Amino acid sequence: MGNRVWKKSVVNSNTTKRKYIIDISGNLPTILCEIDPDTSSLKRS
């Protein structure tokens, strides 16, 4: 559906990975939370 559900970025040899939980029930998709997949910790909600 074109919504971002996963992201990997590399800056100066530092890799950051994130998974997103997205609510697609409304008119516009909304990110509900951002999760670090390596530690399973909640980064943002």
Would the pLDDT of 2 be above 80?
A: no
Domain of 15, in residue numbers: 6-44
What's the confidence (pLDDT) of residue 4?
Answer: 78
When pLDDT is cut at 50, 70 and 90, the band that residue 10 belongs to is very high
Whether residue 1 is contained in a domain is answered as: no
Looking at the structure of the chain, the number of domains it has is 1
Q: Token pair for residue 23?
A: 């609510």
Residue with tokens 């909600």: 45
Whether residue 21 is contained in a domain is answered as: yes
When pLDDT is cut at 50, 70 and 90, the band that residue 18 belongs to is very high
* Contact yes or no for 32/21 (Cβ under 8 A): yes
Give the DSSP per-residue string, 1-45: -----EEEEEETTEEEEEEEEEE-SSSS-EEEEEEETTTTEEEE-
The reported pTM is 0.70
Residue with tokens 């910790």: 41
